[in-house]
Every structure is written in C-alpha cells, then in structure tokens.
Amino acid sequence: MMKSILRTENLAIGYKKNSATHMVADGVNASLRNGELVCLLGPNGGGKSTLLRTVAGMQRPLHGAVFLGAANIHKLDARTLARQVSVVLTERVQVGLLTAYALVALGRHPYTGWTGQLTAVDEAVVQGALTAVSAAHLAPRFVHELSDGGRQKSDDRPRSGAGTTGDAAG
C-alpha cells in the first residue's frame, strides 16, 4: 500500500471573526497518494478555496491537522513549506509592474540565498517553466497587460476583438 503524500485528520475549516467562529466544514478526512489526480467540486461558497488554503498551509484549521508526508504542514517553517507546496487560487493577484518572467521567477525565492539573486540554474528553471506551459512568449510582458487567460496560460492563437492590452476573452 502506497503511503499518503498529503492527508487530513479530523479537519475543521472556516474562519474566526471577532469572537465568532464560522465553520465551513468539519470532520474532513482525506488521503492523497503520489500520482493521484483529485478534483474538488462544490457550490459557490461551499468552502473549496478555504479547504485549499488550509491544506496548503496558508490558513490555520479550526481543529484537526494536515500532514505533508509525516510532517504537520502548519508546523513547517515558511521556506520548507514554499519548497514543497504551491497553490493557484482564483483571486486576481495584484503584482504591480512585474513582467510575466519576474512573476514566475518569484517561485525560485525559496531556493535563493538571502540576496534573492537568481543563479544560472534558477534562470533555466524559470525559462523551463514558461516553456512547459507554452508561455515563453509572454515573459517580457507586464502581468497587468495580460488577459485572464494569458495570466493562466496562453497560446499564440489570434483572438477576435483583441485589444492592445490583451484583454480579449478567451
């Protein structure tokens, strides 16, 4: 039997606001193994993003635990967590004047020294990531100029009605 790479034990998710607790889900027990593909479905407001934020270590559980391998994810230091977990949520990230390349390069931060300088290996990893999702051509563009689809992943197909900032639907 394969060991779990991620599991939850008696997990309760939700929010504490002022002195009130708003529980979204309770008793969540799940186990994910290497190579599995998981789909999380539910209605709007059903707690999908709250669960993902909790499982990714971005939000503390109301009770219960999340384990990455044998480690409680909420007890890992930030650098270790950043090297092992990533998540893409639906909120639109405000990145100022970062280029697509610079935004992707931020993913190398846990691997750089205290100066944050990218090495040739880091540069190759960033370029490889952009190429892997067919977005290398977006590298020099400012993120705020990309369409929502371009922010997620873009290809070179022409889009009818495309504006100069790339805000076409697609």
Buried b / exposed e across 53-90, counting CB within 10 Å, b at 16+?
Answer: ebbbbebebbebebbbeeeebbebeeeebeebbeeeee
**According to the model, what pLDDT value does residue 143 have?**
83
pLDDT tops 50 at residue 168: no
Judging by DSSP bridges, how do beta strands 63-68 and 71-72 pair with one another?
Answer: antiparallel
pLDDT band of residue 145 (cuts 50, 70, 90) is confident
**According to the model, what pLDDT value does residue 162 have?**
37
Give the type of residue at 80.
T
Tens digit of each residue's pLDDT (9 = 90 or more) over 52-80: 999 999 999 999 999 999 999 999 998 89
Tens digit of each residue's pLDDT (9 = 90 or more) over 107-142: 898 888 888 899 999 999 999 999 998 889 999 988
34-38, 48-52, 96-100, 156-160: least confident range: 156-160
How many angstroms separate the CA atoms of 120 and 86, rounded? 23
The alpha-carbon radius of gyration of the chain (Å, integer) is 19
pLDDT band of residue 152 (cuts 50, 70, 90) is low
Question: What residues have CB less than 8 Å from 92, skipping those under 6 apart?
Answer: 148, 151
The more confidently predicted of residues 55 and 97 is 55
**Which token pair is 53?**
């934020």
Under a CB-based contact definition with an 8 Å cutoff, are residues 25 and 47 in contact?
Answer: yes
Whole-structure pTM over 0.85, yes or no?
A: no
pLDDT band of residue 25 (cuts 50, 70, 90) is very high
**Which token pair is 56?**
């990714």
pLDDT tops 60 at residue 153: no
Q: Show the domains of the chain with their CATH numbers.
A: 4-84 (3.40.50.300), 100-152 (no CATH)
